[in-house]
Amino acid sequence: MPDGAPRGPEEDRIEAAVRAVLGSLAGDLTAKEAALLAELEALGRTIARAKAEIAALAVDDITGAHIPSATDELDAIVEHTAQATNEILDCCETLERLEAEVPAAAAAVLQGAVTRIYEACSFQDITGQRIGKVVAALKAIEQRVEAAVANASGRGAPPPPPAAPRTEGEALANGPQLPGEATSQEEIDRLLASFD
C-alpha cells in the first residue's frame, strides 16, 4: 500500500494481532524474533493488499459480460454449423436422387462423392461436443472468479451449483479428444481382443 494511503479494516486487524503477540511476549526480543515478527507483519499487509486488489477487479465485466458473451457466441457457432450441415445433407439427398438419371459410371462416382460428404459432415457433431467442453470450462472459470472475489471481499464463496445427474453412458463418454490424448486404435483392438 503506498505511503499515506488510507488503511483498511483488514490491515488494522493484522496490525492489532501483531501488536497483541508482541505485547504478550515476556522479556526482550532477540534480533531474530524481532525480524521474524516484522516479516509476519509485512506478510499480513501483503495478503491484505492482495485481497483488496482481487476485490477491486472488474469481475462484473468478466462474469456479467465477457463470459456470457463468449458462451453466447459459441452457442451461435453450434447453431449455425448445424444449419449449414443440414443444408449440405439436403443437397446430398438431391444428388442421390439424380444418381438414377446418370450413366452407371457417373452414378458410382456421384455415390462415392456423396458418401464422402456424409462422412465429412460428422464434423458438426464433433465441433458441437468440443464447443460444449469450452462452454463448460468458461462457466467453471466464471464460478471460480466469483468465488475468489467473494472470499477476498469477505462475503464468502457462493455455494457451487448442484451437478447435473449423468447417466452411465454420459460418464463413460468423453467426446472428441485432442490429438495425442485419444485412445489409440491399438488400445481399442487390445480391449476388444480381451473379450474373446
pTM greater than 0.85 (yes/no)? no
Instruction: Determine what percent of the chain is predicted with pLDDT higher than 90.
Output: 17
Question: Which has more confidence, 141 or 51?
Answer: 141
**Cα angle, residue 136 at apex, residues 63 and 172 outer, rounded to 5°:** 160
CA distance 55 to 49: 10
Q: Coil, helix or strand for 102?
A: coil
Domain ranges across the chain: 9-56, 59-157
Contact in structure between 110 and 98 (CB atoms under 8 Å):
yes
pLDDT one-digit tens code per residue, 152-171: 666 665 565 666 666 665 55
CA nearest to 160, candidates 177, 146, 149: 146
pLDDT one-digit tens code per residue, 42-100: 887 888 787 777 666 666 666 677 778 888 888 888 888 889 999 999 999 999 999 99
Give the single-character DSSP code of 182. Answer: S
CA distance 27 to 108: 99
Confidence of residue 5 (pLDDT cuts 50, 70, 90): very low
| C-alpha cell, 85 | 450441415
